[in-house]
Amino acid sequence: MSTIDLIQSAPAHATPTVQGEPVKVMIVTDAWEPQVNGVVRTLTSTRRELEAMGHIVDMITPLEFTTVPCPTYPEIRLSILPAKRVRRRIEAFAPQALHIATEGPLGLAARAYALRHKLPFTTAYHTRFPEYVQARFAVPLAWTYRFLRWFHGSARAVMAPTPVVLRDLEAYGITNGVLWTRGVDLDVFTTQRPNMLNTAHPIFLYVGRVAVEKNVEAFLALDLPGSKWVVGEGPALAGLKAKYPNANYLGVLKQPELAKVYASADVFVFPSRTDTFGLVLLEALASGLPVAAYPVTGPIDVLGDAPAGVMREDLREACLEALRIDRATARAHAELFSWRAASEQFLAHLRPLPAAQAADAQAAQPSTATGA
């Protein structure tokens, strides 16, 4: 069953919402701006939608802490000794629901606090972290999944973006998964063609992190007509520029500029074999770009059986076939996804904190709201 089939599915348990009243939701995340990735895009979009629905959202992010760069990935900042401030922030806000979005230092600190105070919480599985670690450091998958079982096992629910990812988690013993799908901003990403890319057509485009796990070289090595563009940054960028100088490279773009680049291209190429979803797939489709991809998790869940893209083990063949797909077909498929529906799904999965515990935390606010 594809994500499309389950996008409107509702969980079997009650939500924290009472008589339509606003819910105070605290989200703890190690991934945040200025990072540009699917996790940050998901969380910013979810926060925007929840607040538009009248809910109150507070976020604990690395911007509040002293940080150090992640080894081999300096764009990611790791918070140093965050436990005390995480505790103070949670107690000061007195949330009705606690969501831990990532497994980094902030997520670990929030998890420890919740377990110590017997607070229910939810978590999320955004990226195929074990596969990334294996690709970078040759660490066996079983070792990293053991850590994930430990981290997510205490959560009341772990939210995953697709049914295939849920099955992957279950195969490694993480059985408390629920579906939290994704959306796309259809007002930002449109089919209006501004012709931003002044190179030969057809234009084949990749957008995303430029890292070994994204398999960008599989795209750049293809013998294709026209021109190739890569939008994004990452540790593999310098090497790929040197090896494939005939391709065109742009850095990280803000959404308005990125939307124009999407709409200027002819085919979106998604060479990753390790993504859980791939928000860029929806952004490309919303811009009228047909997708060329491998038949793997992410593209399978986004495209399903829709004629909006081509999935082949021969990526070159997929790229050439995708040129025949009408842009309106791609756009129509993207319109099946919305951030409002995804955010309602997120809200429904949250577990309410017991009223007495929330009251205790609120009572602690005057003495804990200040300090680092």
Range of the domain at 243: 203-334
Q: Is 337 helix (H, G, I), strand (E, B) or coil?
A: coil
pLDDT beneath 50, residues of the chain: 1, 4-14, 17-19, 356, 366-372
Per-residue pLDDT at 369: 38
- Could you read off the pLDDT of 89-119 as tens digits, one per residue? 999 999 999 999 999 999 999 999 999 999 9
Query: What pLDDT, on a 0 to 100 scale, did the predictor assign at position 37?
Result: 84
Question: Looking at the structure, do residues 10 and 125 belong to the same domain, yes or no?
Answer: yes
100 in the same domain as 208 = no
Please state the φ and ψ torsions of residue 267, each to the nearest 5 degrees: -140, 140
- Residue 79 identity: S
For residue 196, being part of any structural domain is answered with no
Say how many domains are in the chain. 2
Same domain, 327 and 343: no
Q: Report pLDDT for 140.
A: 87
Q: What is the pLDDT of residue 104?
A: 94
Do 33 and 54 lie in a common domain? yes
What pLDDT, on the 0 to 100 scale, is given for residue 252?
A: 92
pLDDT score for 367:
44
Per-residue pLDDT at 237: 96
Q: What is the pLDDT of residue 18?
A: 43
Encode 150-200 in three state secondary structure: HHHHCCCEEEECCHHHHHHHHHCCCCCEEECCCCCCCCCCCCCCCCCCCCC
Residue 329 token pair: 């077909």
Domain co-membership, 9 together with 79? yes
Residue 190 located in a structural domain? no
